[in-house]
Chains A and B, each alone.
Chain A
Amino acid sequence: MTKDKNLKNGAPEQVNLEKGTPVKGTLGEALRSQGVSRRSFMKFCATTASMMALPPAMIPTIARALENARRPSVIWLSFQECTGCTESLTRAHTSTVESLIFDSISLDYHHTLQAAAGHGAEEAREVAMEENYGNYLLVVDGSIPLDNPGYSTIAGISNLDMLNEAAKGAAAIIAVGTCATYGGIPHANPNPTGAVSVKDIIKDKPIINVPGCPPIPVVITGVLAHFLTFGSLPELDHIGRPKAFYGQSIHDRCYRRPFYDKGQFAETFDDEGAKKGWCLFKLGCKGPTTYNACATTKWNNGTSFPIESGHPCIGCSEPDFWDGGGFYKALSMPTVDLSQTAAYAAAGAAAAGVAIGLMNRSKKNTSNKIHVKTTLEDLKK
């Protein structure tokens, strides 16, 4: 065998090209140490771009940024919640590509998922907060009761105190689920615990709202990926939601939209219109007033979303969705007695229809005051 010029003292010299050697302590190095090839990483980046609703042209930028991203410490606090958000997230974790995102963060406290319990768990939270002060990401699911701190405590600490303490050293806060973002079901009338959202309490930190009951798993991972990629929070809408996922209404992205435009509606759940897959607007679909990514990202690994399964959107990513006047009531129907529209009509509106339109626009506000229970009769309509 001819001696290779790279061989010194009979031993081959390791090739160490600068390009292709990931920087220490970065996600790129972590992936390489796990045996993840560059080709696999490109697949990961392509899927991440799709997940973040970024144009495919951004894939090389994402690859460069993610490769050099450092693992952030994440502290996850669960308050008045049903664990549905965590359940949704852990379903995302079954996917190899999404699991890479979780491998790239250091989840230092999550009392449902962590092995430690009791004092050990709380100590882990305190240590992570101290060691990463000013830099950790705080994720919150669940609302916070203000009426009586005793309604919800962890290790004897009220939710309010724990949130205030953890928020102090956080670089940013991600409120996950409709309870943390807008109060959600605990906040619904009559709101017995005085439940409020994270944003109602914390005023001096950047907060990103990821609503949904629960949020779509890839939306949660997409937001984390964005933070890892760009080191900042994504562009938000007027109620703090990332525009990439909540920038368009369900209605605008719904494949049944052309039926709406043509005036073809299902009137009941088993009529000809329903069988033909027509628009569910008259069955109470809240798609026109709901902003979320369900229509394109879909659920259960992209299988479908509620409207595709024949059920109207209930608007779970919107504030006060539970008090919206009934899941099966069309948006065009007033949520209050028509006589109450007189105040609007008196302003000069010639027809009651105009008044109804005004009422619908103010629905979000009135829904706080008027709680209409959905009865069996409503479901039969």
Chain B
Amino acid sequence: MNPAETPQFNIHAGNEFTWNVKPILHEIRHALQRFLDNGETSIIDLRSIPLAPGEEESIIETLGRGEVQARLDVLGASEIYETKYTGVWLVTHYNDSDSIVSRFIEVTEMPDVLKSQREDVVHALNALVTELGTDKT
């Protein structure tokens, strides 16, 4: 078949059917309001919502990128950044094949996974103590 004759199939969301984008953006708006009013944090699991091809990208595009971004190396990469709406973070976890395994929108001061974890600090302190103990100088 001539490439020009190849039928084009619209499996990506066009402007006409992005039904789920606005409701999720409103959900984020409500979460941000709650966070401001009483400090309540929220997490939205983007993989639990039926989204048409292109809708997730549309949400992410609307949220944009803000001032802070981080890349973690934890069981594969994780990408975390604050969107252009302060207090709204996008957290994307990848496996070691760089496939997305989960994606969340967090409304918080800072996602918990970014903070140093007490258990890791204990481990770090032990490691540092051992390091100093073997250092004869």
Interfacial residues, chain A to chain B (CB-CB below 8 A): 4, 6, 11-15, 17, 19-22, 32, 36-40, 42-44, 46-47, 49-51, 53, 55-57, 59, 94-98, 100, 253-259, 270, 274-277, 295-297, 301-302, 304, 308-310
B113 to A43, Cβ gap below 8 A? yes
**Known contacts A17-B122, A95-B95, A302-B99: A56-B129 contact under CB 8 Å:** no
Identify B117's interface contact among A39, A50, A295, CB under 8 A.
A39
Complex-state Cα separation, A118 to B61, whole angstroms = 57
A44 to B75, Cβ gap below 8 A? yes
A39 to B113, Cβ gap below 8 A? yes
State the interface size on chain B (CB cutoff 8 A): 50
For A17, the closest partner residue in chain B by CB is: B122
List 18 other contacts, CB 8 Å, given A46-B102, A47-B102, A98-B101. A4-B132, A11-B133, A14-B126, A14-B129, A15-B129, A19-B118, A20-B122, A37-B74, A37-B120, A37-B123, A46-B91, A59-B43, A255-B53, A277-B9, A296-B48, A301-B95, A301-B99, A301-B100
For B122, the closest partner residue in chain A by CB is: A20
B130 to A12, Cβ gap below 8 A? yes
Interfacial residues, chain B to chain A (CB-CB below 8 A): 7-11, 13, 17, 19-20, 43-45, 47-53, 55, 72, 74-76, 78, 91, 93, 95-97, 99-102, 104, 112-113, 117-123, 125-126, 129-130, 132-133
What is the minimal beta-carbon distance from B58 to any residue of chain A, in angstroms?
Answer: 12
B129 to A47, Cβ gap below 8 A? no
7 pairs from A and B in contact (CB 8 Å cutoff): A43-B78, A97-B95, A255-B20, A255-B53, A301-B99, A301-B100, A302-B47
For A274, the closest partner residue in chain B by CB is: B9
Q: Cβ of B133: which chain A residues have Cβ within 8 Å of it? A: 11-12
For A258, the closest partner residue in chain B by CB is: B19
Q: Cβ of B122: which chain A residues have Cβ within 8 Å of it? A: 15, 17, 19-21
What is the minimal beta-carbon distance from A271 to any residue of chain B, in angstroms?
Answer: 10
